[in-house]
Structure 1
């Protein structure tokens, strides 16, 4: 039976009455729920289009601004990820205490504006600051989505909803390739039709054209999405328990045995998610002599197809485990997926030829995509509504910090300082990703008893 999120009881101050009018009653798993999921997934895709565009325009930017590889790498990495990590906890707290729809509106407008400002940059410093703005504003999406989706879906559908949302980066990555290609091809015609844009070079025009239309998407959000009433996932009903910052910290500390394990599990999984794709193309080029263009096309298709398949299969496996009586099914599914991922990572340097290496990589992509929605769902099932934003921000913070900080770098260090041979990068990928997979498996399996205890506590709180 579908769960209905009840409206706030009548009465109270005029301010409370106005707040109630701005919130929507959502039937769990209803068409309205799926519409909100679609909007949030598109927002996440749009964020990734704006995020990835810079990586496709490296050489034109370097030549235009006369900057070095090192300077451009700072714009690609430090400018974005430092802003993202600084802003993520702040957005997590805002999500728990204010109107989430309005935060999303502001975030979309800001990152689209900063993307367009990247195209207006004519110095390294200007590009760095615009990229910093993109990173800071995009940090809002993940905690907003984890909080809002938990108010729109039942426990039965939560893993599926989270998995679909997490498809956003894969869709955005593919769309960024298509969109940037179309923009570059049509740049000459745009210059002729709009003389005001003649001052922009092709790469600058790409940022402007990709960035500004996002404002129209923000308008769609404004007109069609209302703030959902905050609710419980298990059993339904409104959940508007208030948490100060101190209360939230005490809540997490009391349950640190669970949260430490699952968040570190997310981080070690991110080492594989970010490390293997960062270096596999280089391995195929160095060790198997594949042309760069062929690597980009074949590996890109592989990531999109197997990534989507894994994200959709994960919730189905969790559902089968739940039918067999496993109340910890989402987290158990994530833990179990670490073992085949480990084997696929280990096979990469030993596979025969480029086709074998790509097959091992396909298996790795499938199994590291499979648990993502399940892990996000597991976190939200045991979180109060007014804590979901903070927990979602922690999830994203730890994944980005450990994944970006350790994944690609550990593989490079192993290649340079242990093997002393660039062609041995395949073995570096296997060693780092295999160890990370094993560590993630241990963390998630040891989190299971703590997770079951928190599920029991959450159900008891509803009865109380």
Structure 2
């Protein structure tokens, strides 16, 4: 067992770094990367199913004769409420059941419920189908975090997690391309098959986007096997059993770390969900950019700099490891909060549309950089049979705080503090700067607790 030689700054000699142990048999191999690719595609598929509704707002409203408010409930409340309820339950199932089979069931269910959205003829039917999509998609994140941790060594963990985190960006981009293609294809199918004429084009689009997921589920069934449960740090098998009560007690005893990182994730989610929700409006109101130009330029910026940030994260981790930091995975996430804070604070002071886009590019880069690092850090110190619960809590708190506080707090400050729609940029800056500062404090103060958990996992 390697001894830990800690420096005052939290660094350690290289013989204590977690990536120095040889990978466990099967880790980092072709099979591991294939499983990662499948999990990333599954996560992307979930986002395509999730986002299609946003392309079909007006046809749905016309067919179902519903208001903007009712449609917003289908878009937001129906999905996120079911997601939040199901997430902890599915996270626990990840720890006690076959994860591959649970993923199969989840894919079939969310694709099936997506198809059922196309069979809805009333507001209530579409609301319930949308709840089904949200509840079943809640399995994807905790399953993936748990399986990736059992497929990769500590040396490759941050990179693997960062690649997986690209799923939503790929899915969000593909939803626009695939959604437009599917809508056009649906019109052609109706012309070729008069028996489908009773379905509206938007209804057929949901059916066509949902059913192919069953084929993907078959691919998972035939090509993916359940990986063995293992410890990441010491590269050894890990099948420690935890009851639900035992898993909760395990996390509670280590709450100085878990409370900080989970709340840090929530603060980061305020920026991740709040800034993109209002930044296009800021560009239109304050900088006079046409809506079409905003969609193209801001959308391209988010995809490009988001991918760049996610792929840079593992490089920063390795750079810190080479300089002797045992806590490099968490430290990289904490350090990213500082430039993100500065970029957020600069929004009211930039000049012109190009300056505003440059500030946005910096924010997107630095809020995606730590995401994979934080997910990897959680899996490095969690026993295999608790990783599903940990992943579920990560996702639950991010969605709860991010959706619940991010966009709404920005709107409240614009409406009730400034009482001026053109001040939305300052509102974004205030909310996101404060959230970034709190996240930085939480993550930096979590570092000593993280190092203790690394040592604990190494000796258990």
Shorter chain as denominator, the TM-score bin is over 0.9
Q: Deviations over 1:83-139 (max 9, x none)?
A: 000000001100000000000000000000101111111110011000000000000
Q: Which moved more, 1:75-84 or 1:198-207?
A: 198-207
Q: Which runs of structure 2 are paired with 1:209-220 in the superposition (5 Å)?
A: 209-220=208-219
Matched residues in 2 for 1:191 and 1:107: separation? 29
Over the aligned positions, Cα root-mean-square deviation in angstroms equals 0.9
Matched residues in 2 for 1:2 and 1:40: separation? 25
Matched residues in 2 for 1:245 and 1:260: separation? 19
Structure 2 unaligned blocks of 5 or more: 1-20
Matched residues in 1 for 2:59 and 2:304: separation? 30
Match of 1:327, SS?
Answer: coil
Question: Which position in structure 2 is the counterpart of 1:253?
Answer: 252
Task: State the shift of 1:194 in Å.
Answer: 2.6
Q: Is the 8 A contact 1:2 1:28 kept in 2?
A: no
1:185 aligns with 2:184: yes
TM-score when normalising by structure 1: 0.94
Question: Which position in structure 2 is the counterpart of 1:55?
Answer: 54
Matched residues in 2 for 1:212 and 1:188: separation? 17
Question: Which position in structure 1 is the counterpart of 2:237?
Answer: 238
1:3 aligns with 2:2: no
Q: Deviations over 1:359-393 (max 9, x none)?
A: 10011000000000000000000000000000000
Task: State the shift of 1:71 in Å.
Answer: 0.4
Q: Which runs of structure 2 are paired with 1:345-364 in the superposition (5 Å)?
A: 345-364=344-363
Task: State the shift of 1:187 in Å.
Answer: 2.8
Question: Which position in structure 2 is the counterpart of 1:339?
Answer: 338
Matched residues in 2 for 1:68 and 1:140: separation? 31
Question: Which position in structure 2 is the counterpart of 1:434?
Answer: 433
Matched residues in 2 for 1:33 and 1:39: separation? 10
Task: State the shift of 1:273 in Å.
Answer: 0.1
Question: Which position in structure 2 is the counterpart of 1:171?
Answer: 170
Matched residues in 2 for 1:226 and 1:92: separation? 19
TM-score when normalising by structure 2: 0.95
Provide runs of 4+ in structure 1 moved above 3 Å: none
1:292 aligns with 2:291: yes
Question: Which position in structure 1 is the counterpart of 2:404?
Answer: 405
Task: State the shift of 1:230 in Å.
Answer: 0.4
Q: Deviations over 1:409-456 (max 9, x none)?
A: 000000000000111100000000000000000000000000000001
Task: State the shift of 1:64 in Å.
Answer: 1.3
Task: State the shift of 1:351 in Å.
Answer: 1.3
Match of 1:370, SS?
Answer: helix
Q: Which runs of structure 2 are paired with 1:260-279 in the superposition (5 Å)?
A: 260-279=259-278
Matched residues in 1 for 2:183 and 2:459: separation? 58
Question: Which position in structure 1 is the counterpart of 2:301?
Answer: 302
Matched residues in 1 for 2:338 and 2:269: separation? 15
Matched residues in 1 for 2:196 and 2:333: separation? 49
Matched residues in 2 for 1:460 and 1:237: separation? 11
Question: Which position in structure 2 is the counterpart of 1:323?
Answer: 322
Q: Is the 8 A contact 2:186 2:208 kept in 1?
A: no
Q: Is the 8 A contact 1:118 1:127 kept in 2?
A: yes
Structure 1 unaligned blocks of 5 or more: 6-26
Matched residues in 1 for 2:28 and 2:279: separation? 39
Q: Which runs of structure 2 are paired with 1:384-403 in the superposition (5 Å)?
A: 384-403=383-402
Question: Which position in structure 1 is the counterpart of 2:63?
Answer: 64
Task: State the shift of 1:2 in Å.
Answer: 4.5
**Equivalent residues, number:** 440
Q: Is the 8 A contact 1:3 1:235 kept in 2?
A: no
Matched residues in 2 for 1:199 and 1:425: separation? 44
Q: Which moved more, 1:54-63 or 1:237-246?
A: 54-63
